[in-house]
């Protein structure tokens, strides 16, 4: 408790100059209205479209930057979503200073102040190296303390504003009630509407205090699905009563907390929209009638990315024609901003032509653009749109913030089962440690787990097994565990957009079939002496009812890896509780509590 209080005190000392809390006022409103009157129709349409920009070092004279500049000026783009490039399907992180330099350069070249958004669901560390690395949302649910989520929001806001990002596409307000959900999973705070609502509210409060716009997603709730909407159209097949009692509860809480925007998901909800070919994102019944009229949301309504398979499959034609149809349908449904069209000229020209033909009224366009301009003014972008590069190094990754992120990771650790009373482990006995990952490349978290074990027991035998080498390494792994007195398996899996397994187009957040088979063989041979750590996706354990000892981290960050090692060895207490039910293993709220060992060397060789 003393450590936690000291972290709270240190946190309160974070420089307030890094960001200004949002303060809508008459001056901001006057600027927004005056600016709107001076804009052309083309400029207004451009304000309603958001496109990607890569956070990487880019010389202003380079072809890459000139392409961005041409998009911005030709189509009058008013907002960018910042991401990072992918190499062979894997994201390559950049640095905070590179991101800040890019936002400044684009702001310098834009006629109107730009709004920069990002998917910082775990803070800046989602996309940038060197920033404070928080665990996934479900780890906060397991820790069970809304104040941690509040501080998470504030730190993320201050760091984001320091690099010129003013808008985060978070919190995830989905209730992850379906264990087979391949894309929400640990991105959700949990499965209990009341608990998720508390976390969502706390995060919004914290982010607002740090001057950040936030987004509740994916309305009206993506948790009770078994399909990744990046790949195919997801379906929420529940009654209206259940929607009211479960899915909509956190969104109501977010609206009450003053959430700035709501992102509409690409999913069908028969109880709300009977047309099976009309996803929520283009449904007037859901986007306008339910969200804005019934729930009373008056903020910015935005689509999920238009280039996602779930929506694109709802239209026919060329990519440009589909993008045009999507954008027009989304605005007619009640969205204020269309995000990431697959074809920017198609979406822009489609909206322009819809207004010129009278299909969409100019008043409807003005209504949305005024919202966007007001948000920009509430951030102070009409007065100063730039950030100080010197401030980046002072604000990002402050030691007390890194300590808080690690504290969350440790408090999230949940012991689901320990039938053989194996914990805390003693590494002086012959031990084999195996990292099983669903990725084709080793992750930082898995490597950190083995590194932390080797620091304590250099003689430990270890294996890094991924989908590319599982067939080759399986015989060696099975041979090694024969002679081991203890076996530790870190089973790593996490939700990843567009990921398929065994050719299934619905997505997956589980281990690949060969890794599942290897873990099954390990447990068949040595279940009573094997500890399994669900590293990320906690539902992995439900596939192995024979598991004797099962520990969950709810995240696969390096911080969660080191927290898992400390928990396994008794170096830190185990205090987490399941924020979701694990079929066949444990109910929501379960969690075996373990105190920290009094002798710090008790688990050492």
CATH code for 48-395?
3.20.20.300
Q: What pLDDT, on a 0 to 100 scale, did the predictor assign at position 512? A: 82
Is residue 18 scored above 70 in pLDDT?
Answer: no
Considering the chain, tell me which residue range(s) the CATH 3.20.20.300 domain(s) occupy: 48-395
**157-213 per-position pLDDT tens digit:** 999 999 999 999 999 999 999 888 878 999 999 999 999 999 999 999 999 999 999
Confidence band (pLDDT; 50, 70, 90) for 443?
A: confident
Is residue 391 scored above 60 in pLDDT?
Answer: yes
Confidence band (pLDDT; 50, 70, 90) for 601?
A: very low
Cα 334 from Cα 303, distance rounded (Å):
10
Burial class (CB in 10 A: 0-12, 13-18, 19+), 20: middle
Share of the chain above pLDDT 90, in %: 81
Backbone angles phi, psi at 180, to 5 degrees: -90, 5
Q: What pLDDT, on a 0 to 100 scale, did the predictor assign at position 92? A: 86
Which top CATH class is 413-568? Answer: alpha beta
Is residue 600 scored above 70 in pLDDT?
Answer: no
Cα 279 from Cα 310, distance rounded (Å):
8
Catalytic residue status for 304: yes
Catalytic residue status for 230: yes
**465-487 per-position pLDDT tens digit:** 988 899 999 999 999 999 999 99
Q: What pLDDT, on a 0 to 100 scale, did the predictor assign at position 508? A: 57
For 522-529, which contacts have Cβ atoms below 8 Å and span 24 or more sequence positions? 522/434, 522/477, 522/478, 522/481, 522/487, 522/489, 523/547, 525/478, 525/481, 525/482, 526/481, 526/484, 526/487, 528/420, 529/420, 529/422, 529/484, 529/485, 529/486, 529/487
Considering the chain, tell me which residue range(s) the CATH 3.40.50.1700 domain(s) occupy: 413-568
Mean pLDDT (the chain) is 91
293 Cβ contact list (under 8 Å, min separation 6):
none
Share of the chain above pLDDT 70, in %: 90
409 Cβ contact list (under 8 Å, min separation 6):
135, 139, 553, 555, 557, 559, 560, 562, 563
* Of the listed ranges 79-83, 218-222, 231-235, 390-394, the one predicted with least confidence: 231-235
**271-293 per-position pLDDT tens digit:** 999 998 899 999 999 999 999 99
Instruction: Supply the pTM of this predicted model.
Output: 0.93
Q: What pLDDT, on a 0 to 100 scale, did the predictor assign at position 494? A: 79
Burial readout 497-533 (b: 16 or more C-beta within 10 A, e: otherwise): eebebeeeebbbbbbbebbbebbeebbeebbebbbbb
Out of 230, 307, 438, 577, which one is annotated catalytic? 230
Is residue 442 scored above 80 in pLDDT?
Answer: no
Confidence band (pLDDT; 50, 70, 90) for 11?
A: very low
Of 241, 261, 354, 274, which is closest to residue 302 (Cα–Cα)? 261
Arithmetic mean of pLDDT, 20-37: 85
Out of 304, 336, 438, 512, which one is annotated catalytic? 304
**496-522 per-position pLDDT tens digit:** 666 666 556 555 566 888 999 999 999
Q: What pLDDT, on a 0 to 100 scale, did the predictor assign at position 190? A: 98
């Amino acid at each position: 408790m003393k450590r936690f209080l000291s972290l709270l005190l240190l946190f309160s000392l974070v420089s307030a100059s890094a960001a200004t809390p949002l303060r809508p006022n008459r001056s901001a409103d006057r600027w927004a209205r005056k600016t709107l009157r001076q804009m052309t129709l083309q400029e207004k349409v451009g304000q309603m479209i958001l496109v990607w920009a890569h956070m990487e070092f880019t010389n202003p004279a380079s072809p890459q930057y000139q392409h961005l500049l041409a998009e911005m000026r030709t189509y009058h783009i008013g907002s960018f979503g910042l991401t990072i490039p992918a190499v062979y399907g894997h994201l390559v992180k950049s640095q905070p200073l590179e991101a800040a330099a890019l936002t400044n350069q684009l702001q310098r070249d834009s006629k109107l102040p730009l709004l920069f958004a990002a998917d910082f669901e775990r803070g800046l560390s989602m996309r940038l190296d060197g920033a404070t690395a928080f665990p996934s949302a479900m780890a906060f649910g397991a820790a069970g303390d809304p104040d941690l989520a509040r501080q998470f929001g504030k730190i993320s806001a201050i760091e984001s504003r320091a690099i010129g990002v003013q808008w985060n596409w978070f919190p995830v307000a989905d209730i992850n009630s379906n264990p087979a959900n391949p894309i929400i999973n640990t991105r959700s705070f949990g499965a209990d509407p009341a608990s998720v609502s508390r976390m969502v509210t706390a995060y919004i409060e914290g982010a607002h205090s740090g001057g950040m716009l936030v987004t509740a997603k994916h309305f009206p709730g993506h948790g009770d699905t078994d399909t990744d909407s990046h790949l195919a159209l997801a379906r929420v097949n529940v009654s209206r009563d259940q929607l009211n009692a479960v899915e909509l509860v956190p969104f109501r809480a977010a609206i009450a907390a003053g959430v700035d925007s709501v992102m509409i998901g690409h999913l069908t909800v028969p109880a709300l929209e009977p047309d099976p070919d009309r996803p929520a994102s283009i449904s007037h019944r859901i986007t306008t009638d339910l969200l804005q009229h019934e729930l009373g949301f008056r903020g910015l309504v935005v689509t999920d990315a238009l280039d996602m398979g779930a929506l694109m499959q709802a239209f026919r034609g060329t990519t440009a024609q589909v993008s045009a149809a999507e954008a027009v349908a989304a605005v007619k449904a009640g969205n204020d901003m269309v995000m990431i069209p697959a074809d920017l000229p198609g979406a822009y020209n489609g909206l322009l032509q819809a207004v010129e033909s009278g299909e969409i009224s100019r008043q409807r366009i003005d209504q949305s653009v005024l919202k966007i301009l007001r948000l920009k003014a509430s951030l102070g972008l009409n007065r100063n749109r730039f950030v100080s590069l010197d401030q980046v190094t002072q604000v990002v990754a402050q030691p007390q913030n890194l300590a808080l992120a690690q504290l969350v990771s440790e408090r999230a650790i949940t012991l689901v089962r320990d039938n053989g009373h194996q914990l805390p482990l003693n590494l002086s006995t012959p031990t084999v440690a195996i990292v099983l990952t669903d990725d084709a490349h080793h992750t930082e978290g898995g490597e950190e787990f083995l590194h932390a074990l080797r620091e304590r027991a250099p003689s430990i035998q270890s294996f890094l097994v991924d989908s590319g080498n599982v067939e080759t390494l399986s015989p060696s792994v099975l041979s090694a565990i024969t002679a081991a007195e203890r076996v530790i398996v870190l089973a790593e899996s996490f939700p990843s957009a567009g990921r398929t397994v065994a050719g299934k187009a619905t997505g997956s957040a589980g281990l690949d079939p060969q890794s599942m088979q290897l873990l099954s063989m390990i447990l068949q041979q040595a279940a009573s002496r094997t500890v399994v750590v669900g590293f990320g996706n906690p539902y992995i354990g439900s596939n192995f009812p024979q598991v004797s000892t099962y520990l969950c981290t709810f995240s696969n960050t390096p911080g969660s890896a080191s927290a898992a090692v400390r928990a396994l060895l008794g170096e830190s207490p185990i205090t987490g509780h399941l924020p979701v039910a694990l079929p066949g293993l444990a109910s929501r709220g379960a969690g075996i509590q373990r105190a920290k060992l009094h002798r710090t060397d008790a688990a050492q060789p």
